[in-house]
Amino acid sequence: MLQFSTGALLLLLLLQGLGVLVLGEVSKDFSNCLDFFYNKTPPKGISAAGYQPICQRYKNQYHFASLYDRRRRIPLYSAYMLSSPDGKRPSTPWMYEPQLAFSRASPEMAPFKIPVDQNVIESQAVLQDYKNSSFTKGHLNPSMHQKTKVDREATFTLTNIVPQQAGSNSGPWSTLENKVLSKFKDFCFGSMYVITGAMPYASGERWINNRVSVPEYMWSAYCCPTYNTSLPESAQSFFPTYAAVGRNDRNSGEEIVPVNVNVKRSVRGFDVREMPVETLESILKQRLAMPISLFHEQCQ
């Protein structure tokens, strides 16, 4: 009997070990989805505690990568390769990440089941958090920056979402997303690697439903190492890499992003400031107290 149970225990341990090896969705690093980073190199300088790498897997494929902040229940960033969208925004149910709740759950994002399991609620943001808030569900990797239907559907996971003011989401931030797409189409010859993230308040952090952190700013940077070198002069500073920070609170100070008061009321105070990547990195360094380097060797 003793022998049997020892054998069973060993078998169990072996299976557990295999399970850990086979599944790679939520893991200690991005080793299963390095292709979404320029030169297969994720941002450097982010201290690991509390941040969970997720290789965003859907319909048996990886689509992008997110670094999930477990305490804030939002991604710190999502990293992806941009491509021109084919067709319109898919209508797809919102999804969650099963492995944030159970490390041995399915490695694929999945639609929410009703009622939502308590372990899922504790481990991540759920639709209810957003339902009772005045915030929209803001994509970091937007569906309009993905080509295929499946790639676009995969962006509809709450681990790619932050609470974003409607005035930003459908205003200046959406304009920025369109501008980046145009730069890709007009001047970028190879891949464009994008990292888009959330910047928390310096103090007095805001939350929805006392659970999900509201970013004070959104930020984004791209790296397009192979581009049309006979660019018009006006576009030269935008390559190979450029960045932007967008306001997500119209009452924020103007040190990081100034406000243009001559725009229509619905979008006033949600300005986006475009800037070199080094400027964004120095803002992030100060705000997150981490010396972040977004792209390998500054994408040069």
Ligand X SMILES: *[C@@H]1O[C@H](CO)[C@@H](O)[C@H](O)[C@H]1NC(C)=O
Give the binding site for ligand X (CB under 6 A).
128, 132, 228, 230, 232
The nearer residue to ligand X, 58 or 239, going by C-beta atoms, is 239
The nearer residue to ligand X, 192 or 267, going by C-beta atoms, is 192
Tell me phi and psi for residue 13, to 5 degrees: -60, -40
Q: In the bound complex, what is the minimum distance in angstroms from residue 129's beta carbon to ligand X? A: 9
The nearer residue to ligand X, 87 or 232, going by C-beta atoms, is 232
DSSP annotation of 297 reads: G
Q: How far apart are CA 241 and CA 213, in angstroms?
A: 29
Name every residue whose Cβ is closer than 8 Å to that of residue 180 and which is 6 or more positions away in sequence: 82, 145, 192, 194, 220, 222
Q: How far apart are CA 223 and CA 59, in angstroms?
A: 27
The nearer residue to ligand X, 127 or 259, going by C-beta atoms, is 127
Q: How far apart are CA 228 and CA 278, in angstroms?
A: 22
Q: In the bound complex, what is the minimum distance in angstroms from residue 123's beta carbon to ligand X? A: 18
Q: In the bound complex, what is the minimum distance in angstroms from residue 135's beta carbon to ligand X? A: 14
Q: How far apart are CA 294 and CA 222, in angstroms?
A: 9
The nearer residue to ligand X, 133 or 252, going by C-beta atoms, is 133
Rg value, the chain, Cα: 20
Tell me if 271 sits within 8 A of 257, measured CB to CB: yes
Q: In the bound complex, what is the minimum distance in angstroms from residue 232's beta carbon to ligand X? A: 5
Q: In the bound complex, what is the minimum distance in angstroms from residue 151's beta carbon to ligand X? A: 25
